[in-house]
Amino acid sequence: MTESIETPTPDGETLFGLEEMELNFGPQHPATHGVLRLKLKVDGERIIGCYPIIGYLHRGTEKLFELSPFFQNIPHTDRMDYVAAATNNLAYVGAVEKLLGLVVPPRARYIRTILSELQRLSSHLLWLATHAIDIGAMTPFFYTFRERELILDLFEEYCGARLTLNCMRPGGQPYDLPVGWTDRCRELVDLFPAAIEEYGGLLTENRIWKKRTIGVGVLTAEKALAYGVTGPMLRGSGIQWDLRKAMPYEAYDEVDFDVPVFHNCDTYDRYLVRMEEMRQSTRILDQCLKQLPEGPIMGKRPRVLKAPKDSEVYHGIEGPKGEIGFYIVGDGKQQPYRCRVRPPSFYNLQVLPDMVEGLLLADLVAVIGTTDIVLGEIDR
Amino acid sequence: MPQVLIDHLLMPVLKIGVVVGMVMGVITYLVLAERKILGFIQVRVGPNRVGPWGLLQPIADVAKLLVKEDVIPRRAVKWAFVLGPCLVVAPALVIFAVVPFGPPSTVTGGEQNWFITDINVGLLFVLAFATIGVYGIILGGWASNSKFSLLGGLRSAAQMISYEVPQGFTLVVPLLMAGTMSLNGIVMAQYEQQVWFAFKFLPLGLLAFFIYLVAGIAESNRNPFDLPEAESELVAGFHTEYSGMRFALFFLGEYANMIVISAVAVTLFLGGWLPPFPNVGWLSFLGLGLPPAIAGLFWFTFKLFCFLFVYIWFRGTFPRYRFDQLMELGWKWLIPLAFANVLLTGLVKILL
Amino acid sequence: MSDPEESKPDTTSPGEPEESPRPATGEGEAKAEAPIEASAGEGAAAEPVETPETAEEEAAQKAAAAAAAKAKAEAAAQAKAAAEAAKPPWERDPRVPEWQEAGDDPLAAAVAAQHGDGLLAARTFAGDLALDLAPGALREVAADLKHSHGYTLLVDICGAHYPDREEGDFEVVYHLYCFEQNRRVRLRVRTDEHGEVPSVVSVWEGANWPEREAWDMFGIRFADHPDLTRILMWEGFNGHPLRKEFPVEGVDTGAAIYPEYYEEEAGPVAGTGTGWKPTPPPEPEPSEPAPADEPQEAGSADPAP
């Protein structure tokens, strides 16, 4: 562990001729959350170099966007960050609406807010489950999936799908809420704070959990900004920035919520940020359900969505993992000429080598967990 | 058949057969119990498809493992690869030779002792054989010719050797209390002194018991000290490359180690086959009115299962330690504590 | 219930011509809208009660004139505009955003003042400020924006391919964000296949991967990039998939990667299956490394036959 035996002699040779080992971590590894591959240089268990290799899940989504009309591209967005389909949908339809100047009626905006907050909860639950299991606590996994199941049931009832929702359209919502849906959502919102306390009871004050996460994977605010890190990771690094507050979209300016921020920049703080975000999401859901207006769910829009000639917009929203944005270039056709996704995980993963250098192999797993990556989005 | 053959050949062989069979049976059903208890902890059901309440699940598991293809990686070191799992299982089973499951003939007045043998250096025997298991893990990890296996083997070596020190120190405490190294003698000492050694010289006995508990969990590579096979870090650690029956042997070894460590803990600290509170007269009904041999066996097994439940409970509750933290816990806390404990116990023993 | 006048808050649309009728609204479009309006249901707040009054007053003033018909048409247009304005925003015709010159934007003015020729154009579209930059000035402008204007967060870098343009058929688009002003800005730089764009990794470390991606997907070169290798496609891949001429079905990449399995020109062809030959050649040389190390830049722009 210490460097004494590796300290080179004046001749430039180490005493025991130690050499570092190259370790291929992934792409098929239980803790790389999909198909992330890391080329590690390890000295014993200490990581002295890390080079991420991505692209194993590359499906050419951005190319596919250029083929289909604006409507038909929505399912592609589901499959990028496949645990947060609703927010992907929202970012995409938001960009298309901005491009075409569509206005969304209030009820649809509220439904979108509810759906994306539910999605944030479900994404954070999945993150908590896998993060905990990476650090060796297997029980929270089942507790979080118990509640996640309820959320997926709500999704299923709304749009028929549980994971790849395809639940938004440019200009509004495709369906109104089913009868009784709000009551069931209300039940979930009522039971959720207790559930969060239950997860927290397993982990927050757990000494081993704290030992494994406090001071591990420190990401300073400067680093986070330099690397374009967004979302809970940025807020865990002491920067209180949330697009829901900064550039409110949908109904977020009509609800009251706090943006959690913690200043220790480590894995534990990012854990606390996400836990607090779940509480705030519950608050938002609660207010949305109370304020949900009646009225139409689809605004006026042309029969055929055609992008204006020579047009381009960027629209970013706060996804569960950070800013997910779409940059769409239109050329007067029904298809986007170019559609670029700003994937939050891509930027958040980029900072991983900086965070893990000098840590142990076990910390690497904790740090991968805390970045909350989804390879479907990184590779697109 | 002459009596001498019966006494020195037939009965020991029978006993060995029964003990090994029982241990194997306990292991298979311990796996089921673990899955069921974990299921209970984790708001799910656990195995319930094979047989009623999943009771035949262990049999199905064993059958599956037996008939699975046994892969030996081409670049593995074959003899070491094959030897590794055996070196894990065999020592764990050998230790049962000295564990007293029930009272000796002097107490029951019967013909037979309820243990296979009684070595006068039983404690050393236990320590010696417990140490061999680590060779199996290191060999298996090294021979697999896989980096993850190697790291697992290295972790295991460091961990088991580190934790053997506090474990060894803390075993001195009951030894001092009993004045003998024979496991049977230690239980008999608790019988004669009418107190479990965990509760003697409070809090020294209790401290020794807890140190042994922690070190024992680390020795058997269980949560929260399951670093050698940390699934999320090292894929499966030292047994990454093993499959089929060889993997099953590692598995068997781990659970056999759990049982051994529990059995030794029960013997040394929790009075072995003694009923609870042997010194309290009105609690003598805890002898259950059964013949002392049967009651002893019952209490031994009961305590053993309580101990095993603690193992499973830990697994359902705790995250995993990190390697350096594990070492820190071992060297900075457990070893000084165990050492001080031995000194204090000796002091108290001299003074009293 | 929300304020119905409030449109999406982040689209800070440039002008606020709320009342003016849109010139684009022609009769044909109005007819096309009619069924949608009819089906809009009770949410339509506008009752055509008041507006005809004013229209008729105006018409009465001009009744004597011979241009009654023209006035009526005008009145109808006005009435329609008024009815449109009285409706909640989501029932009105969508207002398609347009490009607007933004030379007087303080940021654009500052950049123009400091970098002169570096700034080619400054326009807004749907409220987003876009600065067209000369490639040579990019890194200075980026550093300037970061250090003196507070655009500390690099939101995104992406490429785009415009093969129909006469020159500079590739574009690199940067999105920056400023926390203090809560505002995004877009920088655009044109280049071509052989040109280079200065890398901004020295300004934002996070530019590393997206620039690699732009190289991988479009073949845009970035000068002074520390590690300009492929990121999403594999090392040795032949071509740049997001270019417009790149076929969606894929191109022959096999021969370049598996020379021992494919004959020359015998790899998979676009849209015709894989072309994989199952039997390997009789004597594969074990010492020879299988993949070709060079990404074969020369043939990269080759579309499939």
State whether A246 and A107 are in the same domain: yes
Tokens of residue C298, six digits = 């020369």
Q: C94, A102: Cβ pair inside 8 Å?
A: yes
Q: A137, B320: Cβ pair inside 8 Å?
A: yes
Q: Which chains touch A (3 or more CB pairs under 8 A)?
A: B, C
Looking at residue C276, its pLDDT comes to 39
Q: B231, A30: Cβ pair inside 8 Å?
A: yes
Q: pLDDT by residue (tens digit) across A168-182?
A: 888 888 888 898 899
Q: pLDDT by residue (tens digit) across A325-369?
A: 999 998 888 888 989 999 999 998 989 888 888 888 888 888 888
Task: Report chain A residues whose CB lies below 8 A from the CB of C229.
Answer: none
Looking at residue A295, its pLDDT comes to 85
Q: Do chains B and C touch (3 or more CB pairs under 8 A)?
A: no
State whether A38 and A108 are in the same domain: no
Task: Report chain B residues whose CB lies below 8 A from the CB of A23.
Answer: 147-148
Q: Check: CATH 3.40.50.300 for C101-223?
A: no
pTM over 0.90, yes/no: no
Task: Report chain B residues whose CB lies below 8 A from the CB of A1.
Answer: 324
Q: A347, C206: Cβ pair inside 8 Å?
A: yes
Q: B325, A361: Cβ pair inside 8 Å?
A: no
Q: Is residue A7 part of a domain?
A: no
State whether A25 and A99 are in the same domain: no
Q: Is residue A39 part of a domain?
A: yes
Q: Which chains touch C (3 or more CB pairs under 8 A)?
A: A
Domain ranges across chain B: 1-67, 75-351
Looking at residue C22, its pLDDT comes to 40
The tens place of each residue's pLDDT in chain B, 352 residues long, gives 677 777 778 877 888 888 888 888 888 888 888 888 988 888 888 888 887 888 888 888 888 888 888 888 888 888 888 888 888 888 888 888 888 877 776 666 666 677 777 788 888 888 888 888 888 888 888 888 888 888 888 888 888 888 888 888 888 888 888 888 888 888 888 877 777 777 777 788 888 888 998 888 888 888 788 877 777 777 777 888 888 888 888 888 888 888 888 888 888 888 877 777 665 555 666 655 666 677 778 888 888 888 889 888 888 888 888 888 888 888 888 899 988 988 988 888 888 7
Q: Is the pLDDT of residue A8 over 80?
A: no
Nearest residue on chain C to A342, judged by CA atoms?
C156
Task: Report chain B residues whose CB lies below 8 A from the CB of A132.
Answer: 319
Q: What is the distance in angstroms between the Cα of A58 and the nearest Cα belonging to chain C?
A: 6
Mean pLDDT of chain A: 86
Mean pLDDT of A124-133: 90
Q: What is the distance in angstroms between the Cα of A315 and the nearest Cα belonging to chain C?
A: 9
Q: Do chains B and A touch (3 or more CB pairs under 8 A)?
A: yes
Q: A211, B324: Cβ pair inside 8 Å?
A: no
Q: Is residue A13 part of a domain?
A: no
Looking at residue C287, its pLDDT comes to 52
Q: Is the pLDDT of residue A374 over 50?
A: yes
Q: What is the distance in angstroms between the Cα of B293 and the nearest Cα belonging to chain A?
A: 40
Mean pLDDT of A71-89: 89
Q: Is residue A9 part of a domain?
A: no
Length of chain C: 305
CATH of residue A239's domain is 1.10.645.10
Nearest beta carbon to residue A338 from set C96, C126, C160? C160
Query: Which site among A25, A45, A191, A211 would you substitute to test the B interface, given the most B Cβ atoms closer than 10 Å to its Cβ?
Result: A45
Looking at residue A2, its pLDDT comes to 43
State whether A34 and A77 are in the same domain: no
Q: Is the pLDDT of residue C24 over 50?
A: no
For residues C293 and A107, the model is more confident at A107
State whether A220 and A259 are in the same domain: yes
Q: pLDDT by residue (tens digit) across C217-258?
A: 888 888 888 888 888 887 767 678 888 877 777 665 555 555
Answer for the pair A153, A82: CB distance below 8 angstroms, yes or no.
no
* pLDDT confidence band for A113 (50 / 70 / 90): very high
Q: Is residue A202 part of a domain?
A: yes
Looking at residue B282, its pLDDT comes to 58
CA atoms within 13 A on the CB side of B201: 25
Q: C99, A103: Cβ pair inside 8 Å?
A: no
Q: pLDDT by residue (tens digit) across C94-137?
A: 777 888 887 778 888 888 888 778 778 888 888 888 888 888 88
Task: Report chain A residues whose CB lies below 8 A from the CB of B224.
Answer: 136, 208
Mean pLDDT of chain C: 69
Interacting residues of A188 by C-beta distance below 8 A, sequence separation 6+ = A147, A150, A151, A154
Share of chain C above pLDDT 90, in %: 2
Q: Is residue A93 part of a domain?
A: yes
- DSSP string covering B107-147, please? HH-SSS-SSS---TTHHHHHHHHHHHHHHHHHHHHHHTT-H
Q: Is residue A368 part of a domain?
A: yes
Q: Is the pLDDT of residue A111 over 50?
A: yes
Instruction: Give the C-alpha separation, A51 to B24, whole Å.
Output: 46
Task: Report chain A residues whose CB lies below 8 A from the CB of C92.
Answer: 103, 300
Query: Which site among A66, A96, A219, A225 would you substitute to test the C interface, given the most C Cβ atoms closer than 10 Å to its Cβ?
Result: A225
Nearest residue on chain A to C218, judged by CA atoms?
A63
Nearest beta carbon to residue B232 from set A21, A44, A365? A365
Q: B319, A21: Cβ pair inside 8 Å?
A: no
Q: What is the distance in angstroms between the Cα of B139 and the nearest Cα belonging to chain A?
A: 18
User: Domain total for chain A?
Assistant: 2
How many helices and strands (H and E) does chain C possess? 7, 8
Q: Is residue A65 part of a domain?
A: yes
Task: Report chain B residues whose CB lies below 8 A from the CB of A210.
Answer: none
Q: pLDDT by residue (tens digit) across A44-69?
A: 788 888 888 888 888 888 888 888 88
The residue segments making up the domain with residue A32 are 21-52
Nearest residue on chain C to A291, judged by CA atoms?
C1
CB contact A141 to B (< 8 Å): yes
Nearest beta carbon to residue C90 from set A228, A299, A316? A299
* pLDDT confidence band for C40 (50 / 70 / 90): very low
Answer for the pair B342, B169: CB distance below 8 angstroms, yes or no.
yes
Q: pLDDT by residue (tens digit) across C272-286?
A: 444 433 444 455 445
Q: Is the pLDDT of residue C33 over 60?
A: no
Nearest beta carbon to residue A206 from set B232, B319, B323? B319
Q: At CA A39, angle to CA A35 and CA A45, rounded to 5?
A: 110
Looking at residue C293, its pLDDT comes to 46
CA atoms within 13 A on the CB side of A299: 30
Query: Which site among C31, C170, C232, C244 would you substitute to test the A interface, given the most A Cβ atoms closer than 10 Å to its Cβ?
Result: C232
State whether A43 and A182 are in the same domain: no
CB pairs under 8 A between A and B: 83
* pLDDT confidence band for A119 (50 / 70 / 90): very high
Residue located via tokens 């035996």: A5
Instruction: Give the C-alpha separation, B143 to C198, whole Å.
Output: 51
Query: Which site among B37, B320, B326, B327 would you substitute to test the A interface, given the most A Cβ atoms closer than 10 Å to its Cβ?
Result: B320
Nearest to A321 by CA among A259, A379, A246, A234: A234
Task: Report chain A residues whose CB lies below 8 A from the CB of C43.
Answer: 105, 295-296
Q: B151, A361: Cβ pair inside 8 Å?
A: yes
Task: Report chain A residues whose CB lies below 8 A from the CB of C89.
Answer: 103, 299
* pLDDT confidence band for C92 (50 / 70 / 90): confident
What backbone torsions phi and psi does residue B173 show, to the nearest 5 degrees? -65, -55
Task: Report chain A residues whose CB lies below 8 A from the CB of C234.
Answer: 55
Looking at residue A122, its pLDDT comes to 92
Q: A249, C8: Cβ pair inside 8 Å?
A: yes
Nearest to A316 by CA among C175, B49, C85, B352: C175
Packing angle, helices B335-351 and B204-219, rounded to 10: 150
Packing angle, helices B147-178 and B244-269, rounded to 10: 20
Answer for the pair A251, A292: CB distance below 8 angstroms, yes or no.
no
Answer for the pair A287, A255: CB distance below 8 angstroms, yes or no.
yes
Task: Report chain B residues whose CB lies below 8 A from the CB of A208.
Answer: 224, 318-321
Q: A212, B321: Cβ pair inside 8 Å?
A: yes
Q: C94, A311: Cβ pair inside 8 Å?
A: no
Nearest residue on chain A to B240, judged by CA atoms?
A29
Packing angle, helices B292-317 and B244-269, rounded to 10: 120
